[in-house]
Structure 1
Amino acid sequence: MEIAFWIVAGLLALFYLYAGAQKVLRSQEKLRPMMGWVDEIPMPVVRLIGVLEILGALGLVLPPLTGIAPGLAVAAAIGLVLIQVGGMIVHLRRGEKNLIGLNIALLVLAAVAAWLAAARL
């Protein structure tokens, strides 16, 4: 279980650190080719999503790594599940049901990470 947690949490953390940094640092014009939805969501909200993704990534790995409040990893994973639910809603409203595959995969991985993190407590 320990190894499984670190594999899942590590992969999710890498993905969300990258994705979150892109949303925080790039302009709307540079995000548009990768994320067409940025035209419909105010940029402060896009930036907030990026910050939440970065915090979720850090929350997945830092508490278990340091041993300080390891329960926060469960909360971080649940937060990442909620981000993906929101992402699926945005894609479905835009008629992009073919794009929710990544959201579903990330949601499942985050749910598995929450379960594995809870099992470590």
Structure 2
Amino acid sequence: MNIGIWIATVLLALVALAGGISKTFVPKEKLAAQHGGEWTRDASAGFIRTLGILELLAAAGLILPAVLDIAPVMVAVTATCWVLLMIGAMITHGRLGQFKLVLLNAVYLALAAYVAWGRFVLEPFS
């Protein structure tokens, strides 16, 4: 079970890293021109960059606490926060009629819920 939770954690961290890099370093206009980035048209550049930084922190928070054995409970806390972020993403994409992206966010939400449940209940770090 531990290996499955680690696989889900790494996949989720990679998603967070990719999203964080794009939102932090890609200009708003370029993001808005891409499919799935239409929501950025009505958001401020500061808000987009803040989300990007939060996603970069999430990528770190999913991996580093366990690897460094410093407050490893933060892995489960970060995964729980990711669930909340994905709920917001699903609402945003749903309002724009982007139901494929809502489904993709639902997959990320399920991965995060699995990691949170796994690290809080099934295989917590001791």
Q: TM-score, normalised by structure 2?
A: 0.90
Q: Which runs of 4+ in 1 moved over 6 A?
A: none
**Letter of the aligned partner of 1:78 in structure 2?**
T
What is the alpha-carbon root mean square deviation over aligned residues? Answer: 1.2
C-alpha contact (below 8 Å) 1:87/1:103 kept by paired residues = yes
Q: Which residue of 1 aligns with 2:55?
A: 53
Partners of 2:98 and 2:2 lie apart in 1 by 36
Matched length: 121
Unaligned runs of at least 5 residues, structure 2: none
Q: Which residue of 1 aligns with 2:10?
A: 10
**Residues 1:72 and 2:62 are matched in the alignment:** no
Partners of 2:84 and 2:50 lie apart in 1 by 14
Match of 2:40 among 23, 30, 38: 38
**Letter of the aligned partner of 1:48 in structure 2?**
T
**Letter of the aligned partner of 2:31 in structure 1?**
L
For the residue of structure 2 that corresponds to 1:50, the secondary structure is helix
**Letter of the aligned partner of 1:23 in structure 2?**
K
Q: Which residue of 2 aligns with 1:24?
A: 24
Deviations 1:32-55 (A, max 9, x none): 214111002212111111111111
For the residue of structure 1 that corresponds to 2:87, the secondary structure is helix
